[in-house]
Amino acid sequence: MNNFQYYNPTKVVFGEGEFGSLGAEVKALGDTALLIKQEGPLEEMGVYAEAVRSMEEAGIRVHVLEYITSNPKLSKIREGIAIAKEKKINVIVSVGGGSAIDAGKAIAIGAPCKDDVWDFFRREKMVTEALPMVAVSTISATGAETSCHVVVTNDEEADAAKWQKWALHDAHAFPDTAIIDPRLLASVPKRLTAAGMADTISHVIEGYFDGVPDNPVSDRIGEGIVMTVIENERVLDHPDDLKARAALSWAATLAMSGLQDCGRSNAGFPAHWIQHAVGALTDSSHGEGLAVINPAWLEFVNQKHPEKFVQFAERVFGLERTAGMSDVEYGQAGIDALKAVFGRWGLPSALGELGVTEGMIPDIIQGVLDSPETYVFEEEMLERVLRRCM
Amino acid sequence: MNNFQYYNPTKVVFGEGEFGSLGAEVKALGDTALLIKQEGPLEEMGVYAEAVRSMEEAGIRVHVLEYITSNPKLSKIREGIAIAKEKKINVIVSVGGGSAIDAGKAIAIGAPCKDDVWDFFRREKMVTEALPMVAVSTISATGAETSCHVVVTNDEEADAAKWQKWALHDAHAFPDTAIIDPRLLASVPKRLTAAGMADTISHVIEGYFDGVPDNPVSDRIGEGIVMTVIENERVLDHPDDLKARAALSWAATLAMSGLQDCGRSNAGFPAHWIQHAVGALTDSSHGEGLAVINPAWLEFVNQKHPEKFVQFAERVFGLERTAGMSDVEYGQAGIDALKAVFGRWGLPSALGELGVTEGMIPDIIQGVLDSPETYVFEEEMLERVLRRCM
């Protein structure tokens, strides 16, 4: 267990019907809101009309930024920052998935300062302030609603192959309030739900297999989150099972809140950084990419450090260990069990299914190596992992 | 799973050697500190000298309140509030166990206002502000270092039998910063360590058996905390095992942080309120009292609602379930396993060992019923539980 600092000041308002408290929660922070909308079905479902009504009933002036796409783009965020400055916005309200929430965070950080917001992602400037923010999560996946992470794709280059999907990690990015209402989640389609479940599991296991021993509390919490996700997979056939939606959404939130990373190496999220490079080039779903990349990555780690994989196979999957099975073999059985879970959820098992071609591999590797993240990649291992994913 | 709000803004600074960062952490909050000292060996061990040195090196003026006793008394807290007002204290620094930290919280709440601090405990007034506070935890037990709870004993009456040990629960009571350094814990003697371990387990299981179904994440976290405590019991024979101390202290902190109570009924902590009445009359150790009261209480609950006890027996203790065993019998086996754990830690198994006599039972019952807590006790059940504890 390493020394650590843990800090997460986001207030969580959780449960069926809590979306109705949006106006009151926003009012506690400001009176002129920028509502960040996400592309997709939420508008048609009336979610945004309900958000506006709730805020206006609370006496809030509401301005709108339409429609954030997945892998939110810098150009759109600059548009939001311009609106925030012009309209004297004093509270940001994102209603959507990780894309809308991350766009909201970037706007909250960019609005109060004269610097260009991308400077913070390039580590050229330090964040010193941000507008207050309420995040309403409409999909269980990224945990963005209580995290200090922001991921943005810089789309300045005309050639999309040169786009950079980079992350910023800063305490100013914590939303002040997160509203999680299982009723909003019931309409998430099966494929996206499964991708979100894989994303949640990835957020645990990218840190869990860090090689740092003696971290029993974080281990138990991480294992509990993974088990909860798997034990609630019935949601894929019963999308309106609100008990399962509630369990999955709280699991997703805590997976990325920093809690179960306490005492870990925090070397970085290697599979995530690879996925970011893939996502920048293919605009493919984050969780689907992770479902392919993460097991492939873990197979390499297990070869060298199987101890934790043994614990994972035993505690999470309760796998029987036959006589003579080595640690590596038993650890691999746990990874295989995880791949089987992803398979029965209908997730892809190869990057080709997400539009990645062999020819893209050098660009993906370059994209990973260009990223300003701290994780130290070996180029050769990167290539081997990517080829295993094809 | 019930709807809930979760909020815990305390920054945790955790790990071996982190006590050395006290000066820097305090400096971030103020420049004139009131150091709250606890009775016991910390002074002789040089812990307070180190605290003063660290703060003075950071340029902080340090005033001192000596020595808080267990079950901290209102008279002492009023003394601290008077010093805080006179010396224009702008940051409270508690270094000690739950008693020093709770005294610090009460002083932080009482110092900025003209009202008498007991008014907040009587629910006569609402807390509206508090001085910033740093809590350095020197024993793993109450989790006070990141909780919003404050427990104080009103010692105004000359007759100690009439003292009230009451709790206040308010967001202003969260310390701004908690420092947890396993090195400070290595000197905690066996008996106190065991009492703290029982306290940690109590903080989980008082909420866990709430009868609210479908709360898998909180269940897994709670079970993980209990398992971590039991799996690190080696500390009782190896007090300077800092890995075990670290695991136990993080478990104790999270048990009381509000995290694993998310989605629970939050009806209250019945065994705690009984122990508070016992503690007010006997000045006995909190954790030791809980080790007796909690199993006795749970045996009554198991008779009516054994479902969760079945889960506990299976997941925490992995008990075999023989053919024909009823839910109540299997649930009781889990409670028996917990009692066996407390027994091998050397904890008392009857309240008589803590100085409680049969004649005190009516006063204890009255003390519980007089408490302003929300839990609804049946007087008859209270008496049956207490008689079972004798």
For residue A285, tell me if it sits in a domain: yes
In chain B, how many domains are there? 2
Q: Are residues B131 and B265 in the same domain?
A: no
Among candidate residues B159, B185, B211, the one where a domain is terminated: B185
User: Distance between CA B354 and CA A159 in Å, rounded?
Assistant: 76
Q: Are residues B179 and B204 in the same domain?
A: no
Q: Are residues B174 and B199 in the same domain?
A: no
Element containing residue B105 per DSSP (H, E): helix B98-110
Q: Are residues A202 and A323 in the same domain?
A: yes
CB < 8 Å to B8, chain A? 8-9
Mean pLDDT rounded to a whole number for chain B: 95
For residue B361, tell me if it sits in a domain: yes
* Backbone phi, psi, residue A130, to 5°: -155, 150
* Backbone phi, psi, residue B58, to 5°: -85, 5
Pull the structure tokens for residue A268: 């970085």
Pull the structure tokens for residue B183: 């090195």
What pLDDT is stored for residue B314 in this prediction? 97
Please list, in sequence order, all residues whose beta carbon lies within 8 angstroms of the beta carbon of residue A96, skipping any fewer than 6 positions away: A36, A37, A38, A40, A42, A68, A136, A138, A139
Among candidate residues B132, B157, B185, the one where a domain is terminated: B185
- Which residue, among B383, B184, B370, B202, has the nearest Cα to B288 in the 3D structure? B202
Look up the CATH number of the domain holding residue A169: 3.40.50.1970
For residue A257, tell me if it sits in a domain: yes
What pLDDT is stored for residue B286 in this prediction? 84
Q: Are residues A156 and A22 in the same domain?
A: yes
What pLDDT is stored for residue A284 in this prediction? 80
- Which range marks the domain in which residue B96 is found? 11-185
User: Distance between CA B13 and CA A5 in Å, rounded?
Assistant: 5
What pLDDT is stored for residue A239 in this prediction? 97
What pLDDT is stored for residue B71 in this prediction? 86
CB < 8 Å to A4, chain B? 12, 14-15
CB < 8 Å to A232, chain B? 216
Per the CB < 8 A criterion, the answer to whether B300 and B385 are in contact is yes
Residues above pLDDT 90, as percent of chain A: 87
A201 at interface of B, judged by CB pairs closer than 8 A:
no
Name residue B44's amino acid: E
B140 at interface of A, judged by CB pairs closer than 8 A:
no
Q: Are residues A200 and A290 in the same domain?
A: yes
Tell me the per-residue pLDDT of B4-59, one tens digit each, with 9 for 90 and over: 999 999 999 999 999 999 999 999 999 999 999 999 999 999 999 999 999 999 99
For residue B64, tell me if it sits in a domain: yes
Q: Are residues B126 and B68 in the same domain?
A: yes
Assign B284 a pLDDT band (cuts: 50, 70, 90).
confident
Residue B247, CA atoms < 13 Å, CB-side half-sphere? 26
For residue A5, tell me if it sits in a domain: no
Q: Are residues B18 and B165 in the same domain?
A: yes
Residues B69-89 have a mean pLDDT of 96
Among residues 4-23 of chain B, which lie with CB inside 8 Å of chain A? Answer: 4-18
Tell me the per-residue pLDDT of B362-385, one tens digit each, with 9 for 90 and over: 999 998 888 877 778 888 889 999
> Inter-chain contact B4–A14, Cβ cutoff 8 Å?
yes
Between the alpha carbon of residue A203 and those of residues A124, A141, A208, B352, the distances in Å are 27, 9, 9, 50
Residues of chain A predicted below pLDDT 50: none
For residue B162, tell me if it sits in a domain: yes
B238 at interface of A, judged by CB pairs closer than 8 A:
no
Q: Are residues A23 and A59 in the same domain?
A: yes
For residue B205, tell me if it sits in a domain: yes
Assign B267 a pLDDT band (cuts: 50, 70, 90).
confident
Among candidate residues B185, B211, B231, the one where a domain is terminated: B185
Q: Are residues B49 and B72 in the same domain?
A: yes
Q: Are residues A283 and A168 in the same domain?
A: no
Look up the CATH number of the domain holding residue A223: 1.20.1090.10
B88: left (phi over 0), alpha (psi -120 to 50) or beta: left
Nearest C-alpha of chain B: how many angstroms from A154? 32
Query: In a 3-state reduction of DSSP, which class is residue B239?
Result: coil
> Inter-chain contact A250–B262, Cβ cutoff 8 Å?
yes
Q: Are residues A180 and A89 in the same domain?
A: yes
Cα dihedral A18, A24, A27, A28 in deg (nearest 10): -90
* Confidence check on the interface: ipTM exceeds 0.85, yes or no: yes
For residue A52, tell me if it sits in a domain: yes
What pLDDT is stored for residue B270 in this prediction? 85
- Which residue, among B10, B20, B35, B68, has the nearest Cα to B181 in the 3D structure? B20
Tell me the per-residue pLDDT of B164-179, one tens digit each, with 9 for 90 and over: 888 999 999 999 999 9
